[in-house]
Amino acid sequence: MRVLFGRRLFLRMFRIGVVGGTGYTGAELLRILAGHPHIALSVITSRSEAGLPVAEMFPHLRGRLDLCFTEPDPGALSECDLVFFATPNGTAMQSAPELLERGVRVIDLAADFRLRDPAVWEHWYRTPHGCPHLLAEAAYGLPELNRAAVREARLVANPGCYPTAVTLGFLPLLEGEAVDPSWLIADAKSGVSGAGRKAATGLLMAEVGESFKAYSVTGHRHAPEIVQNLAQFCGVEVNLTFVPHLVPMIRGIEATLYARLTTSDSDLEHLFAQRYAGEPFIDLMPGGHPDTRSVRGANQCRIAVARQGKSGVVVVQSVIDNLVKGAAGQAVQNMNLMLDLEETTGLEAPALLP
């Protein structure tokens, strides 16, 4: 946003706070915000690292951030225009209500406000919801679905990484009534950074390297989030089989999606092109095979759709960087909308290669 004052043109700056800045998602959020032309990072909190310079923990931010981590302080956070929560599930619901009352807008990168039904939340996250009265108000922050709602929201639930890739892949097919909503399969793979920055034997390189496995086969907590998204466009019950896998790479989500066509004459590529026309962060690859390295470090979802012979099955390939379009980049995309900034600001960088 540019403000004309006299004969000089000024950039309006917004004060931003980040709660929980020490994880992979928090680090990615800080990297993106440090280069955003309209953002002044004011507060970055961490209970365990209070007093430590941010650039000491994250040397890649040397010369870009001169703040120290601080203890979470509602007073300091309430002076911000917007606060991100890059915290574990269950944290934002404890603090967001007070910030909202003080007029601060909030984006939660965890799952606290993604599910509409508090009973479903409690089932999957094993704890009662701390502020169920806010669930109906929270805008689900997938701009390709809810851009108008995000613009007006004071509370945004940033989607999960798997739900982003899967929802964007299935969306045109379901909206166009081209597939049977009772038979949907999502075979998804994630790099190890999706599990967070924590010390766990199963995430060590010696454990993950040269290996490949499925997990949460009997049910993953992202499944109800995906079903909730897809059901918006069907008017009927959605039956989804969702199986996640852990692959030996750091970043990336690859979702191979399967659905049964309801008609044999659908122009699938046209269906996707029509639905995503003008979307700045959707890249359709007709006849292509998108790979995760083509989106590494970018706020991009690359999609290819194909029909397999005469089987009546459509196959969609959807890839994102789980830390960017699947988390921090999408959160900044939502922030831009909420603050009436150009949606792509700070997110124009292409992917890293190799």
Complete DSSP assignment for 236-269? S---EEEEEEE-SSSS-EEEEEEEEES-TT--HH
Other C-beta atoms closer than 10 Å to the C-beta of 52 total: 14
- Which residue has 């969609």 as its token pair? 316
In the set 131, 161, 234, 301, the catalytic residue is: 161
Residue 109: name the closest of 185, 172, 30, 50 by CA.
Answer: 30
172 class by beta-carbon count within 10 Å (0-12 exposed, 13-18 middle, 19+ buried): buried
Alpha-carbon span 328 to 341, nearest angstrom: 17
233: which 2 tokens?
A: 């466009």
Distances in whole angstroms, Cα of residue 328 to Cα of each of 23, 116, 141 = 11, 22, 12
- In DSSP terms, 9 is beta-bridged to 4
The enclosing H or E element of 322 equals none
Residue 282: name the closest of 172, 155, 153 by CA.
Answer: 172
Q: What angle do CA 50, 56, 74 make, to 5 degrees?
A: 25
Complete DSSP assignment for 220-239? -TTHHHHHHHHHTTTSS---
Residue 293: alpha-carbon gap to chain centroid:
18
Q: Is 80 a catalytic residue?
A: no
- In DSSP terms, 50 is beta-bridged to none
Q: Are 321 and 298 in contact (CB under 8 A)?
A: yes
Q: Are 331 and 141 in contact (CB under 8 A)?
A: yes
Q: Are 30 and 41 in contact (CB under 8 A)?
A: yes
Residues classed as catalytic: 161
